[in-house]
Amino acid sequence: MLVEGKLEAIVSFLCSSAMGSVCNGFLLAVAVVWVAVCRGGAQAQLSPAFYATTCPNLQDPIRSVMTQAVGRDPRMGASILRLFFHDCFVNGCDASVLLDDTPTMIGEKNAMGNANSLRGYEVIDAIKSRVEAACRSTVSCADILALAARDAVTLLGGPSWTVSLGRRDARTASMAAANANLPPASDSIGNLVARFAAKGLSLRDLTALSGAHTVGAARCSSFRPHVYRDANVDPGFAMFRRRICPASGGDTNLAPLDPTSPNRFDVSYYRDLMARRGLLHSDQELFNGGPADNLVRLYSSNGGVFNRDFAAAMVKMGNIGPLTGSAGEIRLNCRRAN
């Protein structure tokens, strides 16, 4: 931030010049506190009541469209949740993942972890149309996606949480940033921990957020290496999944991430991990003699703790790098900048 940069420059000058005598513990303490306030300013501007006067009934059309979409296709709930995750992990929760490519911009939709995989864009379009009809040029696509992800979870039987609002939309997107930031299915537990830590998320957040894989499906190309090559997989489960996913071909064939209850947001995912029936390599890494083992055991036997931790982690993830104030814009169409 500009103010932050100016303050740091002033402190540096005072501490290195003839005025060094004023560079004491008090001055440094004030500087540190002010810089922290500047850096935390974006998060502080988010509020559950952000649209209380400008769009007071905002959540009604979002809930309505999401109820219809998940009712038609329960997997869509998982898809919207995944959209939100993939948005927040690339330059913050700014709806950049929704932008179509242009002649001058290659965006995130065709990045390695997104191409022919992310879905639900039309659901967000439908919500945006309803919201624009009620509150013109007021509600960001970033906030719509955050609320839709929360509703997706609750409609599938999962927990609810209060969504802070006030995010604004990015004007651009980056395939390179998506390729660099999104965790691939091949990630080790060490890589996962490092990627999440870089976003301010703990091991507990990582393990709880991974529980989103209690719903949804994955493509054969994502789980083939695990069921054909890894040793930490139940042989019967691997054989069953190979029927869906041949050694070559069939890359787009789908299998549920949680075969026990693929359309129910519960703790079956963690029980599957303990039985070595995680579909993805990165899933099974959470229960493979590593630092997340005890959390997997805890969540597998205590749905209340999982629900609480998942909701808390979703709030933290929703606070990653939002654009606020005059930054960004309020898109009229979520697929393109104004």
Q: pLDDT tens, 138-168?
A: 999 999 999 999 999 999 999 999 999 999 9
Write out pLDDT tens, residues 188-220: 999 999 999 999 999 999 999 999 999 999 999
**Is the pLDDT confidence value at 4 over 50?**
no
Q: For residues 83 and 48, what is the distance between their CA atoms, to the nearest angstrom?
A: 21
**Is the pLDDT confidence value at 10 over 60?**
no
Tokens of 13: 């000058």
**Is the pLDDT confidence value at 324 over 80?**
yes
**Is the pLDDT confidence value at 25 over 60?**
no
Q: How many CB atoms are closer than 10 A to CB 22?
A: 10
Q: For residues 201 and 161, what is the distance between their CA atoms, to the nearest angstrom?
A: 18
pLDDT (average), residues 302-319: 98
Confidence of residue 45 (pLDDT cuts 50, 70, 90): confident
Q: For residues 205 and 197, what is the distance between their CA atoms, to the nearest angstrom?
A: 9
Q: What is the pLDDT of residue 28?
A: 31
Confidence of residue 44 (pLDDT cuts 50, 70, 90): low
Q: Report CA-CA distances (Å) from 213 to 200, 258, 266, 324.
A: 21, 7, 10, 30
Q: Give the predicted TM-score (pTM) of the model.
A: 0.87
pLDDT (average), residues 300-306: 98
**Is the pLDDT confidence value at 9 over 90?**
no
Q: What is the pLDDT of residue 146?
A: 98
DSSP string, 112-145: TTTTTT---HHHHHHHHHHHHHHSTTTS-HHHHH
Residues with catalytic function? 86
Write out pLDDT tens, residues 126-139: 999 999 999 999 99
**Is the pLDDT confidence value at 323 over 50?**
yes
**Is the pLDDT confidence value at 69 over 90?**
yes
Q: What is the pLDDT of residue 108?
A: 98
Q: How many CB atoms are closer than 10 A to CB 301?
A: 13
Please count the helices (runs of H) and the strands (runs of E) in the chain. Answer: 16, 2
Write out pLDDT tens, residues 243-280: 999 999 999 999 999 999 999 999 999 999 999 999 99
Q: What is the pLDDT of residue 236?
A: 97
Q: Is the dihedral of CA 231, 235, 239, 244 positive or negative?
A: negative
Q: What is the pLDDT of residue 14?
A: 35
What is the pLDDT of the chain when averaged over all its residues? 90
Q: What percent of the chain has pLDDT over 90?
A: 87
Q: For residues 257 and 43, what is the distance between their CA atoms, to the nearest angstrom?
A: 33
